[in-house]
Amino acid sequence: MAFSRCALTPSVTRSRMEKTMESFMPTDPEQLRRAMRQWATGVAIVTATHQGVSHGMTVSSFTSVSLTPPQVLISLAQNTRTHALVRASQFFGVTLLAQGQQEISDRFAGRTPDDQDRLAGLETFTLETGVPLLRGGLAHFDCRVIATFTSGTHTLFIGAVLAAQSQPEADPLLYYDRQYRRIAR
């Protein structure tokens, strides 16, 4: 099979392409926020514990990196307590929330002060690392940090998945355009 090279020829084409790209490039953080609201995601709670202190937060930046070896990625703002605990302990847990767990999502999304014990009164359990995971979630991942990457205000943590479990009979809690949503069945 032969491939042909494609090149931008006239400067008119280049100019048109530059204008098109400019229309897609966010010029301010609010424009980027509006665009990102169009991404429907599941809702994940990241938890960590270090020297007897546990904390967690709601995140939308969670994804699988590799199945072999099993790895996932989370993105945490550097100014959060959860970030500090993950950085110090080098372990984190992820609970994917099930439909009906909106209140838990709100609690971990910062609608309570960051220094408040967000895990208080919730039923938790642990797998391999001792990081608390929330009972009733759709899926759980217990991870050891194997790589980090700092970008802007956030750190990307890649975790080796040491243990995982799921409840496939439950439906996921979804978030789209600043509202919780349901899967239509």
CB of 55 within 8 A of CB of 88? no
Is the pLDDT assigned to residue 177 strictly greater than 90? Answer: no
The pLDDT > 70 percentage for the chain reads 81
Is the pLDDT assigned to residue 163 strictly greater than 50? Answer: yes
Residue 9 lies in a domain: no
End-to-end alpha-carbon separation of the chain, Å?
A: 44
CATH assignment at residue 60: 2.30.110.10
CB of 182 within 8 A of CB of 174? yes
Residue 112 lies in a domain: yes
Q: Report the mean per-residue pLDDT for the chain.
A: 85
Q: CA 154, CA 74: separation in Å to the nearest integer? A: 10
Residue 52 lies in a domain: yes
Is the pLDDT assigned to residue 82 strictly greater than 90? Answer: yes
Residue 36 lies in a domain: no
What average pLDDT does the segment 11-37 reach? 62
Is the pLDDT assigned to residue 52 strictly greater than 90? Answer: yes
Residue 26 lies in a domain: no
Query: Which tokens in the block code for residue 130?
Result: 């001792």
Domain extent, residue 119, equals: 43-170
Comparing 57-61, 70-74, 157-161, the range with the smallest average pLDDT is 57-61
Q: CA 159, CA 75: separation in Å to the nearest integer? A: 11
C-alpha closest to that of 74 among 165, 163, 141: 141
Residue 29 lies in a domain: no
Look at strands 53-59 and 44-50 and give their pairing: antiparallel
What average pLDDT does the segment 114-120 reach? 78
Q: CA 103, CA 58: separation in Å to the nearest integer? A: 11
pLDDT of residue 62: 96
- Number of domains composing the chain: 1
Residue 142 lies in a domain: yes
Residue 154 lies in a domain: yes
Question: What's the burial of 87, exposed, middle or buried (CB within 10 Å: 0-12/13-18/19+)?
Answer: middle
